[in-house]
Structure formats: C-alpha cells, structure tokens
Amino acid sequence: MIPMSTQSHFLGVSQSLSGKAWRQRPTDDRLAAEHARRLNAPDLVGRLLAARGVKVDEAELFLNPTLKDLFPDPSSFADMDKAADVILDAIVSGKKVAVFADYDVDGGTSSAILSRYFRAWGRELILYVPDRLTEGFGPTPGAFRALQGMGAELVVTVDCGAAAIAALETANEIGLDVVVMDHHLMHDDHTPPTLALVNPNRPDDKSGHGFLAAAGVVFVLVVALNRLAREKGLAPEGGLPDPMLWLDLAALGTLCDMAPLKGVNRAIVTRGLGVLERLENQGLRALAEVSGIEAPKSVYHATFVLGPRLNAGGRIGDPWTAAKLLATDDRATAIQLAEKLNFQNAERKEVEAGIQKAAMEQVERYLAVKPDAAILIVGGEGWHPGVIGIVAGRLKEKYHRPAIVVGWGEGLGPVARGSGRSVAGVNLGELVSGAAKSGMLLSGGGHAMAAGLSMDPTRLDELRDYLETATQGTTFELEEARVLEIDGTLAPGAADGALLEMIEHVGPFGSNAPEPLFAVPNVRAAGARRVGENHMAFDMIGEDGARVRAIAFRVADGPEGQAIQNGAAIHVAGRLRPDTWKGAGKVQIEVADVALV
C-alpha cells in the first residue's frame, strides 16, 4: 500500500474518462489506528473499518457477525407474535394457505422460505406471483378473489401488501384472512384490515430493524413459529425444521434487494453465503450449474450471477419461475426451471441492450440542447417495463443525474409504466409522488433512490417539464453524484492473494459497507483484447514493470476502451478480485473507472 493522497482530487483526477471526479474516502486516522491496535490487525484493516464508519466497540461484531449476538427478538416486531399464532394455527388445523409473493428475488426467496417451512409440516402452499405487465406490484382485489376461488382460506403476502389498501379491504369484505409480511415504507398511520401486518417500517414498529429485506423479516417469522410451536408442545413428525438451512435464501434476498449490510443483515449474509456454497438447495444447485459456477460463495456470485437470472422471469417471462425453483426439492424440476431462467436472462439482456441504445440516443440529443438538465426523462413505444429500471440505472451511472425511463405499447399492459433511479440527495420518490398528486400521473411513488409510475404516454413532455422545474437548485447534489471515493493507491506488484485475503476479512461488502476501491496510478495496458460484446481484458504494467491482470466491463466501445487499446498512460480505479484463470491464488483488478495521466 502507498500512502493516500491529500489532494482534493485523488491523483489530481477532476474528470475521468467517464466524467467522474476522484476523491479520497473520508477516514478518521485516529479511529483507524485504534482499530488496528485493538484488533492487532494491519493498518489497512483499521483504515477500511474507519472509512466505513465502524466504531471501536462495533469492530469485533462487524468482522465476525453472529446470529447469536445480533438476531432480534421476534416479539419486538409489531404483530409478529400475532402472525405466528395465526399461521401456526393454520398449519395445525390444515387450513388452505396461499403465499402471495413479489416477482423479484426478495419476494421469491421469501416465499421459498415459507414454502419450505410449511412442507416440513407436511403442508403445501398455494403460490401466487403477479404479472408485472397486467397486474403490477403487489396484491389486487382481483388477485385475492382468484385466490379465494382456488380454495385459499388464509393468504400470507411477502415483500408486498403493506400499501395495498384497496386489495386488503376487498379481502376483508369477502372474508379472506390475510397476514402481511413486508418491509417497504408506509407513508401514513393507517393500518389496513389484516389479521396481522408485520413490517419493521410501519410507523408504530419499535424493533429498530427497518433495514431488513423481506427475506430477513420472513426468516424472523419462521424462528417465531418454531418458538411458538415449542411453547405449545407441537412439532411435525420429523421434528421442528431448522431455519439455518434456509440462510442461503435469506442472504440472497438481502443482497439482491440491496439491504444495508449492518446488524443482523451482516450475520445473515455471512452465514448464508456459507450455506449457499454447499448448494443443498436443489434449485440453487441447478441455477449455479447453468450459470457455470461450481461453488457460489461470494457476494458477487449472489448479486451478479444468480440474482439477475432469478429476476429474469419477473422481468420478461413467467413471474412464478424463480419462486418455484427456490422452493422445489425435485432435481429434474430444478434443472428445467433453471434452464428456463437462464434462457430468459439471455433474452432480457438482448431486450435491455436495444432499449438502452435507444434511450442513450434520446439522452444525447436532449443534452445537446439542455446540457445542464438536472434529470433525464426518456421513453419509447415497445420499451418493456421489465427492463426499464435497469436502463434507468445505467443512465444514472453514465450521466450522473436521476433518470426515469418510460415504456408503453401493445402487449405491454394498459398504460405506460416508468421506472426511475436517483443519486444521493435527490429524493426521487418524493418527486414522483408530487407529480402523481398533481394529477399528471395515474400513480407513482417510491423511495429516495428509486421510484415507479404509471401514466398516459402523451403527457411525457409535461412530466419532464414538471420534474426539471422541481430539480432546479440541485447543483451540489449532481456534483456529488460525479464523485468516486477511493480508499487508497495500490501498485500492481502489491496486488496479491495476501492483500485480497486481508480485504475479504473486512467483508462482506454491499449496501452501507462499500467494497474497497483502489487507484492503480500511472500504468499502461498490454495485451488488451475485447471479450464478450463490450468488455476489455488486459494486463496493467506499472512503472517498475510489475503487472496485474485486469477486466473492464462495458467499456470497449467508449473512451476508456480506446485508452486501454492505445496503451496510453492511465490511472485505473478498481477492486481486487480472485483470478482463477490459469492459476488459483492469483488476483485481478475489476476496473471501475479510467483516467488519463
């Protein structure tokens, strides 16, 4: 490691080839030194902990999180005891129960945990996952009526339901019992009619665990169910199920929903990745096989390999596929469903690429006229609602400002749907809610960093004008959105397995615990070659001749790719990754940004 720069712009990079300004990640030097002293650890470990806001008395549990120390009392959640009582009674009495799950990874893993719990008691759940195009997010009055028609006497919603006022009122009117297991924000004090509504983000919840993903909330539920069963002296023939076997599902939901890796979430993910590596879940085993990974054991595998495939069905295919895959114990069924998701993910990438190209062309034309626009609003006929959120995220990353992408057309649902992603400091959920209240949207809302909406596509220009006016004065926030925070500098020769092991000891990394980002200064690329559709693989050679392998994603056709191919003197910002190609124990740099020297 080389000492960190004290310049306001790290290595003097005020504008990289992607338009970013590099800055040293803020670190309390005294706190870093105290961490290193108390833990008897290298200085780097102390600096990484301090830069992530870890206090001295939190360090041990941050580095070695355990469920024993961090798991919450289920009774601290509002309505959790009530939910456990209702569900256990349904299990024992043989009531017909349905699970209504959201169509993303968090919903799929949540429903699979519940399905596996019921199966351990010899019960099978009715599964219902809404269609993104025709039904949208969460339960509808029609869905509850359909479930009652299937014989359901009790419905448990997972990863949705807390804000579905009309649907829950309908369920109450038709005599259908509902328990809600959710984690999304609730914007008023009105609690809809349910037998129990468990949501650590409901206004009267005192658990302090609003950072849990839905899969985490459902995991707490099954622990509560086991506790209640013990108190009542109840158990299935084979004994009470062991929820620890399903930590892989809880970890997947937590990571893919970008829940902050703090408190019990760190323990869930740390322990869950160990369970995931064993591939005891037949669905995840099959999905790993079709994805080409032997032992998925990292945050990267969960978030960027398995996660997109699990999401593919809900985006452009059958929304039930992932939930069925994660719940099945049948090998043949698992292989069939995994192959289906893998195919749909490839299809999703193709659809996404076409929409992204068209969206960026729209943005470039618009910025040529209004270069200072504080928000980007684009849309097109035939743009599939299942991928517009991904495209909005790409636009946000490339242009360093909030972006909303809207799609409509025949076969894509009755109205235009939009999805947006924001930058820190610009609350997109509030902006979209304001547009909805003004009457220019049919519906809209979300949270600070993401939002969704439905609208008449003829009002797209009106929405753009409204949001541009609303985002005036966000110059500081947009400048901050360009900042790339660097943990330190690294010479190619210092990038080795020992350093990677040291960094991994501070993990897992994710939301609220960013992965360390290092600048590799003044290097040249050698042996550059294009891989895949738009990626670059090359060796970085330092001034002393030492080299390290590198991979840069989605840059081959941009200025970064050109600088790499030309062998120009560059600074590279990147993250250390294992390099298993032709030699275990080696490392490579995954490139995050490139700047000319």
pLDDT tens-place string over residues 256-297? 999 999 999 999 999 999 999 999 999 999 999 999 988 888
Per-residue model confidence (pLDDT) at position 5: 38
Q: Nearest-CA neighbor of 590 among 518, 522, 525?
A: 518
The whole-number average pLDDT for the span 502-522 is 94
Residues 6+ apart with CB under 8 A from 504: none
- What domains, with CATH codes, occur in the chain? 10-25+487-596 (2.40.50.460), 71-343 (3.90.1640.30), 370-481 (3.10.310.30)
Place 28 in a pLDDT band, splitting at 50, 70 and 90: very high
pLDDT of residue 533: 81
Query: Measuring CA to CA, how many Å separate 533 from each of 388, 529, 580?
Result: 21, 11, 22
Dist CA 44 CA 444 (whole Å): 45
Rounded Cα distance, 568 and 559, in Å: 11
The pair of three-digit structure tokens given for residue 344, joined into one six-digit string: 């749909």
Lowest mean pLDDT among 78-82, 163-167, 333-337: 163-167
Tell me what the mean pLDDT of segment 491-518 comes to: 93
pLDDT, position 6: 41
Paired tokens of 543? 């001034």
**C-alpha closest to that of 404 among 424, 380, 437:** 380
Mean per-residue pLDDT, 512-539: 94
The tens digit of pLDDT for each residue in 92-147 reads: 999 999 999 999 999 999 999 999 999 999 999 999 999 888 888 889 999 999 99
Give all strands (DSSP E) within 313-402, no chain letters.
376-381
Hey, what are 566's tokens? 């030309």
Beta carbons within 8 Å of 155's beta carbon, 6+ residues apart? 97, 98, 99, 100, 128, 139, 144, 147, 171, 176, 177, 178, 179
Question: Among 347, 342, 237, which residue's Cα sits nearest to residue 289?
Answer: 342
CB atoms within 10 A of CB 568: 14
My answer on whether omega of the bond before 508 falls inside 30° of 0, hence cis, is yes
Q: How confident is the model at residue 188 (pLDDT cuts 50, 70, 90)?
A: low
Read off the pLDDT of each residue in 30-38 and give the average, rounded to a whole number.
Answer: 95
pTM of the model: 0.91
pLDDT category of residue 582 using cuts at 50, 70 and 90: low
Angle at alpha carbon of residue 103, lines to 97 and 107, rounded to 5°: 60
- Amino acid 81: pLDDT: 98
Cα-based distances in Å from 97 to 88, 115, 221, 323: 11, 10, 16, 16
Q: Which helix (H) or strand (E) holds 127?
A: strand 126-128
* Cα-based distances in Å from 101 to 91, 196, 210, 324, 493: 19, 16, 19, 11, 49
Residue entry with tokens 């040291």:
502
- Contact, 15 vs 594, CB < 8 A? no
Residue 341 has pLDDT above 60, yes or no: yes
Measured CA to CA, the distance from residue 539 to residue 556 in angstroms comes to 15
Q: What pLDDT is stored for residue 189 in this prediction?
A: 65
Q: Is the pLDDT of residue 581 over 80?
A: no
Q: Is the pLDDT of residue 7 over 70?
A: no
**Rounded Cα distance, 540 and 118, in Å:** 53
CB 247 within 8 A of CB 271: yes
Can you tell me the distance from the alpha carbon of 430 to that of 157, in angstroms, rounded to the nearest whole number? 26
**Using an 8 Å Cβ cutoff, are 571 and 577 in contact?**
no
Angle between helix 105-120 and helix 214-232 axes, rounded to 10 deg: 20
Closest CA to 39 of 59, 19, 68, 67: 59
Distances in Å between the Cα of 585 and the Cα atoms of 383, 418, 437, 577 are 44, 45, 56, 10
Instruction: Check residue 271 and give its pLDDT.
Output: 97
Q: What is the mean pLDDT of the chain?
A: 93
The whole-number pLDDT of residue 52 equals 95
Output 385 or 404, whichever has higher pLDDT. Answer: 404
Whole-angstrom distance, CA of residue 449 vs CA of residue 509: 19
Q: How confident is the model at residue 179 (pLDDT cuts 50, 70, 90)?
A: very high
CA Rg value for the chain: 25
Tell me which long-range contacts 186-190 makes (C-beta under 8 A, separation of at least 24).
Answer: 186/162, 187/163, 187/445, 190/165
Give the lowest-confidence range in 23-32, 202-211, 442-451, 510-519. 442-451
- 295-299, 461-465, 562-566: which range is least confident on average? 295-299
Q: Is the pLDDT of residue 1 over 60?
A: no
Contact 109, 303 (CB under 8 A): no
Question: Would you place residue 2 in the very low, low, confident or very high pLDDT band (cuts 50, 70, 90)?
Answer: very low
How far apart CA 116 and CA 111 sit, in angstroms, is 9
DSSP string for residues in 231-292: HHT---TT-S--GGGGHHHHHHHHHHTT----THHHHHHHHHHHHHHHT-SHHHHHHHHHHT
Measured CA distances, 374 to 371, 431, 436, 463, 473 (Å): 9, 13, 20, 14, 9
* Other beta carbons less than 10 A from residue 278's beta carbon: 13
Q: Which amino acid is at 575?
A: R
- Our measurement of the distance from residue 6's CA atom to the centroid of its chain's CA atoms, rounded to an integer in Å, reads 33
**Residue 311 near residue 349 (C-beta atoms within 8 A):** no
Model confidence at 4: pLDDT above 50: no
Query: Distances in Å between the alpha carbon of 5 and those of 1, 24, 28, 486, 489?
Result: 12, 7, 15, 10, 8
What is the reported pLDDT for 163? 86
Q: Per this entry, what is the length of the chain?
A: 597
Within 370-427, where are the H helices? 388-399
